[in-house]
Structure 1
Amino acid sequence: MADADTHGPRGLIGRIARSQGLLVPWVLALVLALAVAFVAPVGVRWSWYGAAAGVCLIVSFVVQIIIGRSDGFLLRTSTASLGSVLIVGLVSLVEALLTVVATGLQTFPAAGA
């Protein structure tokens, strides 16, 4: 029983908490998504978001291969991949909302201006 307490929570949450290699794809996803938001031309920005998500999926798989643990491989790989795609999606959503607000402000300027 003492051994179970030293490893933290059990089940799915415990496995995710103890897994390795999740931060690399997540940080890469954030960096790539922010780079796309600030650097990519407006006309092809959505394609670049898809490419950034694809790169993060490949990196998450490669990181899990490098770790070399077979126990929980599918869980770690899917968690890293899903997290990466969600991060890219959230950054693209925020960027799209900011673009809509900026476009609305240009189309409908304030009454006092």
Structure 2
Amino acid sequence: MSTPDLAPRRTFGGIVAVWVLAAVAGVLIGLLVPPHWRAQWISVALGGCLIVSFAVQLWYGRSQAFIQRMAVSSLGAAVVLGLITAVFALAAVVSG
């Protein structure tokens, strides 16, 4: 029988931190990487976000809803990177 946590850590902050990391990485990739290399670097950024989300969720030390927190964190990072990639792709099409 396990004892309940008296004051469990909030887990939403770790999820949002990974989303912010994805946004920062996406913007930096969009600004600094040549257009023909962006897709590869976005994939690398998504892999890095997956590793960071795994580390953050392990750091919390809670086994309850671990898979759900990992899924929300990783899926959110993928959505953020996808939106940023779409914005830079539209900007490249519009600018010629």
Q: What letter is aligned with 2:95?
A: A
- Residues 28-107 of structure 1 correspond to what in structure 2 (within 5 A)? 28-103=21-96
The normalised TM-score by structure 1 is 0.73
CA RMSD of aligned residues (A): 1.1
CA radius of gyration, larger in: 1
Distance 2:27 2:37 in 1: 15
Alignment size in residue pairs: 86
State the alpha-carbon separation in 2 of the partners of residues 35 and 46 from structure 1: 13
Moved more, 26-35 or 38-47: 38-47
Gaps of 5+ in 1: 1-17, 104-113
Q: Which has the higher contact order (CA 8 A, sep 6+)?
A: 2
Q: Distance in 2 between matches of 1:84 and 1:19?
A: 16
Instruction: Tell me the distance in 2 between the aligned counterparts of 1:42 and 1:98.
Output: 11
Gapped regions of structure 2 (runs ≥ 5): 1-9
Amino acid at match of 1:29: A
Instruction: Name the % identity.
Output: 41
CA distance in 2, matches of 1:60, 1:19: 11
Instruction: Deviation per CA, 1:44-91: give whole Å up to 9, x if none.
Output: 111011111111111111100011110110100110000001000000
Runs of 4+ in 1 over 6 A off after TM superposition: none
